[in-house]
C-alpha cells in the first residue's frame, strides 16, 4: 500500500509502512492531532510468523491495524489527552477500538492502539505483557 501523506507521521517511523492499513493511518493522525502529544511508535505492522514474546498470533499488528506507542515519557495529562482523543474519534475509526495499556516487565510501557473491523464493541484493556 502507498503510505499516505500525514500531518504527524512519516513512513520512516514504521518498520513495515507498506503493510499498514491506510484508513487506520488517517485515523491515527486525527487522534495524534487532537491529543497534541508526541507519539513514538515502537511496533506497527508485523510480518506473519514474526511473533514477539508474549505476542498473540491473532494480533491486529498482522493486519496493519495497530501500533504500539511508547507511554513512559507521557505525563498524566498527556495520557488523558491521548485517551480522550482516541475516544473522541472512536466512531470515525475503520472498526472498533482496541486500546490496551501495556506494562512491560522491561519498563518500556506502551499503549497498543488498534482498530478491529471484526469486533462488536470498543475495548479498553490492560496487560502486563
Ligand atoms: Zn500492540
Q: How far is the CA of 36 from the centre of ligand 1 (A)?
A: 21
pLDDT tens readout for residues 34-93: 999 999 999 999 998 888 777 788 899 999 999 999 999 999 999 999 999 999 999 999
pTM: 0.94
Q: What CATH class is the domain 11-127?
A: alpha beta
Q: How far is the CA of 5 from the centre of ligand 1 (A)?
A: 23
Instruction: Report d(CA 109, CA 34) in Å as an integer.
Output: 22
Residue 25 has pLDDT above 80, yes or no: yes
Q: How far is the CA of 65 from the centre of ligand 1 (A)?
A: 9
The band of 104, judged by pLDDT with boundaries at 50, 70 and 90, is confident
C-alpha cell at 25: 493511518
Q: How far is the CA of 101 from the centre of ligand 1 (A)?
A: 9
- Angstrom distances, CA of residue 124 to CA of 17, 48, 111: 25, 25, 10
Residue 120 has pLDDT above 70, yes or no: yes
Q: What is the mean pLDDT of the chain?
A: 94
Domain ranges of the chain: 11-127
Half-sphere exposure at residue 55, Cβ-oriented, CA atoms within 13 angstroms: 20
Residue 1 has pLDDT above 90, yes or no: no
Residue 129 has pLDDT above 70, yes or no: no
Q: How far is the CA of 62 from the centre of ligand 1 (A)?
A: 10
Mean pLDDT on 90-104: 96
Q: How far is the CA of 2 from the centre of ligand 1 (A)?
A: 22
14 and 41 in contact (C-beta within 8 Å)? yes
**CB under 8 Å, gap of 24 or more: what pairs does 12-18 form?**
13/41, 14/41, 14/44, 14/45, 14/67, 15/43, 15/44, 15/45, 16/44, 16/45, 16/46, 16/47, 16/64, 17/44, 17/45, 18/45
Q: How far is the CA of 56 from the centre of ligand 1 (A)?
A: 9
DSSP 23: H
Q: How far is the CA of 61 from the centre of ligand 1 (A)?
A: 6
Amino acid at each position: 500500500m502507498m503510505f499516505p501523506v500525514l500531518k504527524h507521521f512519516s513512513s520512516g517511523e514504521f518498520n513495515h509502512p507498506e503493510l499498514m492499513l491506510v484508513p487506520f493511518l488517517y485515523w491515527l493522525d486525527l487522534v495524534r492531532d487532537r491529543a497534541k502529544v508526541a507519539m513514538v511508535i515502537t511496533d506497527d505492522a508485523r510480518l506473519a510468523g514474526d511473533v514477539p514474546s508474549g505476542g498473540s498470533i491473532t494480533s491486529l499488528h498482522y493486519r496493519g491495524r495497530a501500533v504500539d506507542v511508547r507511554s513512559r515519557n507521557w505525563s498524566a495529562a498527556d495520557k488523558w489527552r491521548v485517551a480522550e482523543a482516541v475516544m473522541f474519534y472512536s466512531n470515525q475509526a475503520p472498526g472498533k477500538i482496541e486500546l490496551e495499556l501495556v506494562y512491560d516487565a522491561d519498563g518500556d510501557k506502551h499503549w497498543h492502539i488498534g482498530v478491529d473491523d471484526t469486533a462488536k464493541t470498543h475495548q479498553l484493556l490492560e496487560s502486563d505483557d
